[in-house]
Structure 1
């Protein structure tokens, strides 16, 4: 016999509102995961939202800095960002594009705005790597907006599928270690949509335009703009947009359940591995 499918509705088990922060050479952003409110949500280590029309908030960018032991996911909504690394890789992120960078054993890279005015908006997510993959060779999965499929699973619903699946629409990102789901969901005013979350994953939803409710019946709870919901309690996510509609990201991944030794741009499993990362970087082995 096959196991019964969990059709219980997911609910908000915790709400988090991002905190103002700065990173790089002074880029202003909102830190949603990785701060005091929510240090991590296995396998997710950090979620930053950046969004401003003021060039002085982003123009200094993120000059060269190292990474080891995890992945960075940059999803651009508006603006242009040039990235380079010390392995000779270079590319330009344009509106609607995504870069999933596996730092692995280590690299040094920069992310610099390629514009002097206008709106710059997007997200950066850090995803942990399991111990067996922390020292793999660095690699990139980078996709322009025309390579990110769009699903219309119901009237008034549009979903950009970056990773995972919505019906027959499959996102281009592949990472077996955490089997991620990453969706950009737009709901017209008052429209509801149901989606089954991957079994066994940790999941969150973050509203960045409008507002929505999560859940149904007596357990439905509002989620306002710039609020994140940690989801639990069931697999079937029920979203309903407010009067102004809603746009949100829905992200889920398999928890690694491994010890985390973390300092700045290095994420390993033990303190000894962390110290070795600093030595390797200082001695030019990245």
Structure 2
């Protein structure tokens, strides 16, 4: 059964961090529809003044942050003194778990193009040990098909295997489509599936999906994507719906207001960091 479009969200300009201009696509108003993806921010600029102020040190708890830099650079520092950088085509994956302080800086580049996702953690794993992983280009398989390729950022595609997260499963593909190219992606019927059009427009069935649009799908066995531009780049994201209560304030996402109060009390009292970060290159 072909999956149908059940929600469609076009990104809107916003400013976050120390003055970073970005396109905010998913957030508080889309939590239920796009579960377990809490937030999706897209970066696309050729003007370094839009982003070089970056995201100075700030806390996270209860989520995983997954940053894909298709073009450009990102430097990560965390509360345990770790520092790492990624560039064109690479991924930073951080489980904030019980608590992390970190910063993300965006050095000037010819073009800054990428996406950050916030992936919710199940209620019984929100206080898990934090961890950090950078996924370098040498670890990302490129799978060619007629008229394009898939970059396997995480999870699996057919018999191909990529990085596997420690908590919720996440199949994350960067799909490149040449002019008139199309692809059929088979899916598990009950997985939570969405796409984001990072560059260019595409067709889902007969419906045109414009650039910088997130689309959520019904249950089903496959989706068909066809390029409607000279060139398109589509992010495919598959996970498992949690269907849990969410209490969200700023950079912290828990399940109850009481848990949020504990988190912010921990911040005020200097007890926010519970575990050392497990750092892996």
Q: 1:194 and 2:184 equivalent?
A: yes
Q: 1:244 and 2:230 equivalent?
A: yes
Whether the aligned pair in 2 keeps the contact of 1:100 and 1:173 (CA below 8 Å) is no
Task: Measure how far apart 1:199 and its partner are.
Answer: 3.2
Q: Structure 1 length as normaliser, TM-score? A: 0.90
Corresponding residue for 2:175?
Answer: 185
Mapped partners of 2:269, 2:77: distance in 1: 21
Pairing of 1:126-275 with structure 2 (within 5 A):
126-152=118-144, 154-175=145-166, 177-215=167-205, 220-275=206-261
Task: Measure how far apart 1:268 and its partner are.
Answer: 0.6
Whether the aligned pair in 1 keeps the contact of 2:190 and 2:220 (CA below 8 Å) is no
Whether the aligned pair in 2 keeps the contact of 1:69 and 1:135 (CA below 8 Å) is yes
Whether the aligned pair in 2 keeps the contact of 1:178 and 1:256 (CA below 8 Å) is no
Structure 1 portions without partners, runs of 5+: 1-7
Residue 274 of structure 1: SS of its match in structure 2?
A: helix
Mapped partners of 1:56, 1:80: distance in 2: 14
Structure 2 portions without partners, runs of 5+: 274-281
Q: Name segments (4+ residues, structure 1) moved above 2 Å.
A: none
RMSD, aligned CA: 1.4
Residue 179 of structure 2: SS of its match in structure 1?
A: coil
Q: 1:104 aligns with which of 78, 97, 100?
A: 97
Mapped partners of 1:114, 1:254: distance in 2: 34
Residue 200 of structure 2: SS of its match in structure 1?
A: strand
Matched residues, number: 271
Mapped partners of 1:23, 1:95: distance in 2: 22
Task: Measure how far apart 1:91 and its partner are.
Answer: 0.3
Pairing of 1:13-92 with structure 2 (within 5 A):
13-34=6-27, 36=29, 38-40=30-32, 41-92=34-85
Mapped partners of 1:22, 1:248: distance in 2: 24
Mapped partners of 1:208, 1:114: distance in 2: 21
Task: Measure how far apart 1:131 and its partner are.
Answer: 1.2
Corresponding residue for 1:4?
Answer: none
Mapped partners of 1:237, 1:121: distance in 2: 25
